[in-house]
Amino acid sequence: MTMTKLCFVTGGVLSGLGKGITTSAIGKLLQFRGFHVDVIKIDPYLNVDPGTLNPIEHGEVFITDEVWEFNPAPGFVYRIAEIDQDAGTYERFLDHPFHPSQNITSGQIYLSVIVHERVGKFLGRTIQIVPHITDEVKSRIRNIANKEDPDVLLIEIGGTVGDIEAMPFLEAIRQLRLELPKHDTCLVHVTLIPYLESVGQLKSKPTQHSVRTLQGMGLQPDIIVGRARESLSKEIKRKISLYCSVPEKAVISNPDLSPIYDLPPYFEQQNMGNYLCSLLQLSYDCKPAIDDWIEMVNLFKNAKRTINIAMPGKYTSIIDSYVSINAALQDAGAHLDAKVNINWIDTEAIEEDPDKIRVLDSCDGCLLTPGFGSRGVEGMIQTASYAIQKNIPYLGICFGAQLLTVAFARSIMGWKEAHTTEVDAETHVPVIDFLPEQKIIQEKGGTMRLGAHKIIIQEGTKLWDAYHQSVIHERFRHRYHIIEEYTGQMKEKGFITSAYDETGKIVNAIEINTHPFCVGVQFHPEYTSRPNRPNPLYFAFIKHALERSTIRMNANE
């Protein structure tokens, strides 16, 4: 093990508390003090990666720059670039690329141990959770610490303390804490402090129980972060301190904040950064460099204008399905003095009642979401056609770009049968079809075209105006692509290809040159947006939406 300090983050009471945001904010406190931090996310589910999970079940799948070849034993290779959405939060807060090997799942751990058993690594021995699974967890953590060599490695354990599937990970942490010197590790427990309406009080009992569960596994938290709708009073902090056996200064408030980027300064006010450094015996001789961050947070807080962006899609029932897109819209808005209101539109509802499409009239822009499969697709195509007709600023991301192509082919070219073969394999006008290499692929997990790739932008296009560069890198996740045989003919009516891949063969972006801003991209620009550095394409889109908003406001006056 290197000199890297380990800071574990566990969750109590229930999931969905924003542990990823807390972990990122802790990382930020350390960065303010000049430390190099990195993060591991542990997901106790048995999937090897979340790539095949439904966004409603799991939230967004985040795509990394790099594709990792997970090679549990000779002859077994799995490509991983689809990982947990928390990685997006880490990247946005810490502005540091997250490597896919840093999202460890139970699936990967068990797979490694089992294939090693098959090839004979443990001949003669019984394979057990302790020590074989826990050893594998510890070795993954150690390898990342050695390879990345950060001053502090934050390790977030997904789920809630007490979940059966997380037990081996908590046991591995217990062992690591025992093996390493006292000041080389610390444990932060993030828990819910519910507000009981009938008595008008925050209640600490569920936290006491979850800390007891941790203690029962041999783990004593050093810091307790209380998620509550408001900040914790001195009194409740005292109570948690007493019952959970941590000093009062180690009980930290984490109330609902907007923007979430306000959390590091909020922690800083409670002296959490200094306390953490004292626990880990990390010394530094500078004043925490927090000013730039606060200036950035103020852009989000003080934005004066408000614009409405329509987001038609099929996973609109949970906000987490498109978390990076939401963040990218807000990043761009903040730097243009605007708050972005997102108007979720369930496209199945449009299919049932076409009049519902009129909701787009009161929007300043329309972002058509990424996606898969056929549910809600006709409604998505209708929104794209409507945005084309009504000159509504439009940004189509991946599936959204493919469906823009279908919409144009049908409504402007008059090719009524045009479709993507993902939805209609028999269509006579397949404007979207498999990428050549995808035609023979059968397995679903990790087999799409993934990760960051080079994109060559054509000069004189809206895309070039946005990026001001001919060569960019953005992240991809797709099996299908836009077929040039058709776009060649669509050009006459203003539908142009604005970017290609490195080979010049795969269309990476399209736009309509007779429209104020109608752009579709095969890549996902949202993954590279940062709160202090919005993605150029989102920035251009929001700029056009603001122009439409001004025109709409003037017309209403």
Residue numbers 343-372 binding ligand GLN by CB under 6 A: 370-372
What angle do the packed helices 134-148 and 167-179 form, to 10 degrees? 60
Give the shortest CB-299-to-ligand GLN separation in angstroms.
29
Residue numbers 181-200 binding ligand GLN by CB under 6 A: none
Give the shortest CB-452-to-ligand GLN separation in angstroms.
14
Q: Bin 541: left if φ > 0, else alpha if -120 < ψ < 50, else beta.
A: alpha
Q: Token pair of 263, please?
A: 């959390």
Residue with structure tokens 């997102």?
342
The window from 219-227, 473-481, 488-496, 536-544 that contacts ligand GLN (CB under 6 A) reads 473-481
DSSP helix, strand, coil percent of the chain (3-state; round to 5) = 45, 25, 30
The window from 247-255, 286-294, 342-350, 471-479 that contacts ligand GLN (CB under 6 A) reads 471-479
Taking CB under 6 A as the criterion, the residue among 41, 475, 478, 515 binding ligand GLN is 478
Q: Does 480 bind ligand GLN (CB under 6 A)?
A: yes
The window from 121-129, 207-215, 246-254, 474-482 that contacts ligand GLN (CB under 6 A) reads 474-482
Give the shortest CB-514-to-ligand GLN separation in angstroms.
25
Q: Does 477 bind ligand GLN (CB under 6 A)?
A: yes
Is 526 considered catalytic here?
A: yes
Closest to ligand GLN by CB, 38 vs 422, is 422
Residue 109, helix vs strand vs coil:
helix
Is 91 considered catalytic here?
A: no
Q: Bin 13: left if φ > 0, else alpha if -120 < ψ < 50, else beta.
A: left
Other C-beta atoms lying within 10 Å of the C-beta of residue 164? 8
Among residues 7, 277, 363, 398, which one is catalytic?
398
Closest to ligand GLN by CB, 211 vs 404, is 404
Taking the C-alpha atoms of residue 23 and residue 132, their distance in angstroms, rounded to an integer, is 28
User: How far from each other are the two terminal CA atoms of the chain, in whole angstroms?
Assistant: 67
Closest to ligand GLN by CB, 134 vs 369, is 369
Q: How many residues bind ligand GLN (CB under 6 A)?
A: 10
Q: Token pair of 538, please?
A: 């989102």
Closest to ligand GLN by CB, 262 vs 526, is 526
Other C-beta atoms lying within 10 Å of the C-beta of residue 527? 25
Degrees, nearest 5: CA angle 459-464-367: 140
Fill in the per-residue mask, 109 to 148: x = in contact with ligand GLN (CB under 6 A), - = not in contact: ----------------------------------------
Burial class (CB in 10 A: 0-12, 13-18, 19+), 167: middle
Residue with structure tokens 């104020």?
516
Taking CB under 6 A as the criterion, the residue among 113, 311, 398, 490 binding ligand GLN is 398
Give the shortest CB-430-to-ligand GLN separation in angstroms.
13
DSSP string computed for 133-183: IHHHHHHHHHHHHHHH--SEEEEEEPS-TT-GGGHHHHHHHHHHHHHS-GG
Give the shortest CB-399-to-ligand GLN separation in angstroms.
3
Taking the C-alpha atoms of residue 77 and residue 21, their distance in angstroms, rounded to an integer, is 32
Judge contact between 524 and 536, C-beta under 8 A.
no
Fill in the per-residue mask, 370 to 389: x = in contact with ligand GLN (CB under 6 A), - = not in contact: xxx-----------------
Is 524 considered catalytic here?
A: yes
Judge contact between 369 and 311, C-beta under 8 A.
yes
Residue 83, helix vs strand vs coil:
strand
Degrees, nearest 5: CA angle 140-141-146: 100
The window from 77-85, 188-196, 351-359, 472-480 that contacts ligand GLN (CB under 6 A) reads 472-480
Residue numbers 314-333 binding ligand GLN by CB under 6 A: none
Taking CB under 6 A as the criterion, the residue among 38, 60, 82, 422 binding ligand GLN is 422
Q: Does 501 bind ligand GLN (CB under 6 A)?
A: no
Give the shortest CB-208-to-ligand GLN separation in angstroms.
44
Q: How far is CA 403 from CA 167, 381, 421, 426, 509, in A?
A: 44, 6, 11, 17, 13
Closest to ligand GLN by CB, 62 vs 267, is 62
Give the shortest CB-182-to-ligand GLN separation in angstroms.
46
Give the shortest CB-7-to-ligand GLN separation in angstroms.
33
Among residues 132, 189, 524, 544, which one is catalytic?
524
Q: Does 479 bind ligand GLN (CB under 6 A)?
A: yes
Among residues 82, 91, 422, 526, which one is catalytic?
526
Sign for the CA dihedral angle at 252, 256, 258, 260 comes to positive
Taking the C-alpha atoms of residue 264 and residue 267, their distance in angstroms, rounded to an integer, is 5
Closest to ligand GLN by CB, 211 vs 418, is 418
Burial class (CB in 10 A: 0-12, 13-18, 19+), 122: middle
Taking the C-alpha atoms of residue 206 and residue 11, their distance in angstroms, rounded to an integer, is 12
Closest to ligand GLN by CB, 80 vs 272, is 80
Closest to ligand GLN by CB, 236 vs 450, is 450
Closest to ligand GLN by CB, 364 vs 433, is 433
Fill in the per-residue mask, 429 to 468: x = in contact with ligand GLN (CB under 6 A), - = not in contact: ----------------------------------------
Q: Does 227 bind ligand GLN (CB under 6 A)?
A: no
Name the nearest CA neighbour of 160 among 372, 380, 10, 336.
10
DSSP 345: E
Q: Does 335 bind ligand GLN (CB under 6 A)?
A: no
Closest to ligand GLN by CB, 151 vs 422, is 422
Closest to ligand GLN by CB, 100 vs 158, is 100
Interface with ligand GLN (CB under 6 A) = 370-372, 398-399, 422, 477-480
Catalytic amino acids?
398, 524, 526
